[in-house]
């Protein structure tokens, strides 16, 4: 029997194969009559988007598609989406796709009813209170990858095209009203994308679990999310049609996003500048950095990682867990080093400056100084564990 469930934490999640059929119902429940479906060019011509549009139109919804969303979306993508939203008289957003489409769709829904510049709402202090909450359109999220977990988050990451830095736009009302988590939509993903997004989910769970502070609910979600990745990522990379494993990976992605309200860390802080400057795949970049960051943080997280290893059915030690991460990376095709990943360190000094002020850097268990960031870039380039 295939997995099927209804969840309401942290939002309403309709999990199960074939549940895209409930899209129009979810939109109507959110008060939408004219949703704008935000996706990316790679998905917009596929049958799943045509099916989503058909479902909405059959229910009398005035849906239109906006697909000008690039990987690592930039401010121009949001501006174009807001223009389409307003021109079409839309009243809600269907954010449909991987992390880039989900983030951009959520920020479009947020920005469409605001009058201040987008960067006035960066996730700094209480800047989110500057927004007019009545201007934030409702969102229904449909993830097609099991990675970012943006479908259960209250923020979107957008690159400032002038400074080439990734910025987080946050507001509590950016949380989607409903998530359609249908594993059938992820069946056709290339192995590279399946592996990279799956490792992204693991990075979220790991960094949330290791972040300082007391948040036992986040910790519990994170360790179960990590276990699901360890048990299912190899299966979906080997056989993309395994719907049971696909569903569990979608759950792990949503769990990672739910958990990282506690914090992230150096995997993300080092990856964000590389994605902004070199346009590398975010999840795969996190995966390359993963073992090197675990070792860097070892003194602060060794006992915690030993508990995680035991929960995942491994020997209860840091070394056992590190070995499991290295094995998983190898088995799903993650490059072992930045050099193998095809990137160089010509901009390492700039990336280190960007990394230490990245919003995620403060969640690392050990302070990420510029010297440490430069050393970690070098270690990850040469593969020194």
Q: Which domains does the chain have, with CATH numbers?
A: 4-185 (3.40.50.1970), 190-382 (1.20.1090.10)
Question: Can you tell me the distance from the alpha carbon of 276 to that of 159, in angstroms, rounded to the nearest whole number?
Answer: 7
- pLDDT exceeds 60 at position 45: yes
pLDDT score of 4: 85
Give the model confidence (pLDDT) of 335-371 as tens digits: 999 999 999 999 999 999 999 999 899 999 999 999 9
| Contact (CB, 8 A) for 172 and 20 | no
Crossing angle of the two packed helices 191-210 and 216-238, in degrees rounded to 10: 160
**Torsion over CA: 227, 229, 232, 235 (sign):** negative
| Contact (CB, 8 A) for 265 and 290 | no
| Contact (CB, 8 A) for 144 and 97 | yes
Tell me how many degrees the CA angle 356-359-361 measures, rounded to the nearest 5: 45
pLDDT score of 170: 94
| Contact (CB, 8 A) for 246 and 187 | yes
Give the model confidence (pLDDT) of 112-138 as tens digits: 999 999 999 999 999 999 999 999 999
Share of the chain above pLDDT 90, in %: 94
Average pLDDT along the chain: 96
Question: Can you tell me the distance from the alpha carbon of 192 to that of 363, in angstroms, rounded to the nearest whole number?
Answer: 28
pLDDT band at 164 (very low <50, low <70, confident <90, very high): confident
Give the model confidence (pLDDT) of 60-102 as tens digits: 999 999 999 998 899 999 999 999 999 999 999 999 999 999 9
pLDDT score of 274: 94
Encoding tokens for residue 8? 């309401």
Question: Can you tell me the distance from the alpha carbon of 131 to that of 172, in angstroms, rounded to the nearest whole number?
Answer: 11
CA distances from 227 to 305, 312, 373 (A): 12, 5, 29
Question: Can you tell me the distance from the alpha carbon of 6 to that of 181, in angstroms, rounded to the nearest whole number?
Answer: 10
User: What are the E-state strand segments in the chain?
Assistant: 4-7, 12-16, 35-38, 64-66, 92-97, 139-143, 155-160, 165-170, 178-181
Share of the chain above pLDDT 70, in %: 99
Encoding tokens for residue 207? 């960094």
Give the model confidence (pLDDT) of 193-229 as tens digits: 999 999 999 999 999 999 999 999 999 999 999 999 9
pLDDT score of 7: 67
Task: Render 225-263 in DSSP notation, one character per residue.
Answer: HHHHHHHHHHHHHH-TT-HHHHHHHHHHHHHHHHHTTS-
pLDDT band at 9 (very low <50, low <70, confident <90, very high): confident
pTM, two decimal places: 0.93
Element (H, E) at 108: helix 99-111
- pLDDT exceeds 90 at position 165: no
352: left (phi over 0), alpha (psi -120 to 50) or beta: alpha
């Amino acid at each position: 029997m295939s997995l099927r469930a209804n969840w309401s934490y942290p939002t309403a999640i309709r999990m199960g194969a074939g549940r895209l059929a409930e899209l129009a119902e979810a939109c109507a429940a959110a008060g939408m009559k004219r949703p704008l479906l935000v996706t990316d060019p790679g998905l917009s011509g596929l049958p799943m988007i045509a099916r989503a549009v058909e479902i909405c139109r059959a229910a009398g919804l005035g849906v239109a598609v906006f697909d000008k969303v690039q990987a690592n979306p930039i401010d121009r993508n949001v501006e174009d989406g807001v223009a389409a939203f307003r021109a079409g008289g839309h009243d809600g957003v269907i954010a449909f796709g991987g992390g880039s489409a989900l983030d951009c769709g959520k920020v479009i829904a947020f920005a469409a009813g605001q009058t201040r510049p987008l960067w006035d709402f960066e996730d700094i202090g209480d800047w989110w209170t500057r927004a007019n909450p009545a201007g934030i359109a409702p969102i229904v999220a449909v993830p097609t990858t099991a990675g970012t977990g943006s479908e259960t988050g209250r923020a979107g990451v957008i690159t400032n095209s002038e400074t080439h830095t990734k910025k987080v736009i946050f507001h509590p009302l950016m949380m989607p009203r409903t998530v359609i988590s249908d594993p059938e939509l992820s069946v056709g993903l290339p192995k590279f994308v399946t592996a990279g997004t799956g490792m992204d989910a693991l990075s979220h769970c790991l960094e949330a679990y290791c972040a300082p502070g007391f948040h036992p609910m986040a910790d519990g979600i994170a360790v179960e999310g990590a276990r699901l990745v360890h048990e299912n990522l190899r299966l979906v990379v080997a056989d993309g049609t395994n719907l049971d494993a696909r569903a569990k990976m979608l759950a792990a992605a949503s769990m990672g996003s739910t958990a990282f309200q506690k914090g992230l860390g150096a995997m993300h802080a080092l990856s964000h500048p590389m994605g902004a400057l070199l346009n590398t795949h975010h999840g795969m970049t996190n995966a390359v950095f993963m073992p090197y960051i675990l070792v860097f943080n070892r003194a602060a997280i060794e006992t915690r990682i030993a508990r995680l290893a035991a929960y995942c059915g491994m020997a209860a030690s840091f070394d056992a867990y590190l070995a499991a991460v290295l094995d998983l990376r190898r088995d799903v095709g993650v490059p072992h080093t930045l050099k193998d990943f095809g990137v160089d360190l010509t901009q390492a000094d700039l990336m280190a400056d960007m990394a230490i002020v990245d919003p995620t850097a403060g969640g690392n268990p050990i302070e990420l100084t510029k010297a440490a960031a430069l050393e970690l870039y070098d270690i990850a380039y040469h593969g020194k564990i």
